[in-house]
Structure 1
């Protein structure tokens, strides 16, 4: 949470009319955007710090924040004295909600710039702005936490009415946007489902439920909830927002970039990187309905040799009412590695039953043969 704080990107030199970055900043068609990004990438290929900074700024402008971060990091590494790249990298961290990283980069920029220079003054101003925003956000977060605690107590005592249930879900939604708040997408979904039980056709409750599914990464109920919201509140702003997540190219670019980044985090975690494992654990807690994160964490922990935690993670996945083919397929193999043969076979059977395509079913049969779990046909996997 950055309290609405935002900083303009820093560029070097003048941008002539028709400059690719100016095109991106002014709003353009998808074809124009692709052309402008390609022009910026071609210019950056020569290694000029100015061109690399402009390419990163273009990526940032279209929402490809992770890619922009990589370019600015590389530029900082190759040219440690490039203050503009460091200040833009701090802006990148701010946009991604990584405020500790933002503060660290700003301090490095301040300490590395000459006394009295414009870069040092700008870094100092931004450090002060960030501190002020974080202090304000901390006060707001504390108020939200106190409100959530009071509402949860009303629920526990059986005193909560429908408005209390709605308010609790809204407060929890706000807290899911706060890094390290401890409130997960599962907490939000539980509150939204409780409100829905109290008022099944209430449009506001359905909106909260859709938001909960977006935050938790739940695809199982999402389509059905959207149809229900469309029936009861066809002009809902939340419905429009949810639809845009499926059609907005900028949003889709962000999703693809995040997906690629999380695949890299999972790869590093599996290779034994504990920092990456901790990040994967945090993301799986924030998005408990994203089974990919939880399965990746399970095998990273198992590969590290912590069978006790791996077993807890696997049992948690096995107990999920919405566990799908992907979950059953992977924990079946995990239980086989642990020597729990019958439990493994049960999950192979569930993986087969929940398979959507013939290719998925063949994957199950092949896995059964590979681990030596028996003849697939004898297990009913025909």
Structure 2
């Protein structure tokens, strides 16, 4: 690309942005944050906690959902049919998740369970775990005796709880596409206006960050995801200016002690993400684009850290963070090479087959 990009549309091709690299950094940030929590069971020890009730992992997940909105909207735009879009989303999430649950239940579990091997493998929870979690029927399911003596006991993989909200965001976006709400600007603006009602809920309700309902969580994640979808929808008119980011950060800072903090945080985080994505990426961008390890690091990070804490009681938070990142990266590489990349190849073949069978009128996309 010649010259500095001026609008978001100019960086949406993978070779022109750092979306993959930002997702990798966000996944690593979540692992680091969890390492401090899992070694101490003290919320205050998590990075950035001193700045408020939101820690580093919280902000990293925000980035994940904004980028997901941009990328999934782009996937929808390119899909030749709704069937191929749904299949591509399923193939991106479920095979890697299934592999992670099988590894956790049948490799990690027997090594760290306080029960005997006979009791472990005769317990129905061991065999149900991969099914329940992959189907997202019971994403927080436990395993018999696993991590029972850790500072955060019996929690097998808390990181996975956000996946059901991501899938829910995909589902809502799919329904909006089927209804035609994403085909032109006017109905899409209507979606934005209706979603503003969610802003009213999270902005003006009594704040209690320690007691949030599923509706509260969905409100947060849907607004972040929708922000990414809106970025993609208006990509030709979204300017890339550091002065605008500075203004967004200033407004966020001014409103950080008010009820508007969540909304201002979302806007500053989202715009900051696309500005960072516009920077030159070099070899790091190329690596992240060729080897998408972010998902694997995210889903393996928690059980890896819990296992380290189990095998080495008293391990420091920094040591746990460093070792967890290393081991999670190794598992993520294996997952990417053996499971995720082959699934993506299958997704591409299905997309080509769907295009050969479909008529142009069946194409569902997001227009500018």
- TM-score, normalising length: structure 1: 0.26
Rg bigger for which structure? 1
Q: Quick one: higher RCO (CA 8 Å, sep 6+), 1 or 2?
A: 2
- TM-score, normalising length: structure 2: 0.27
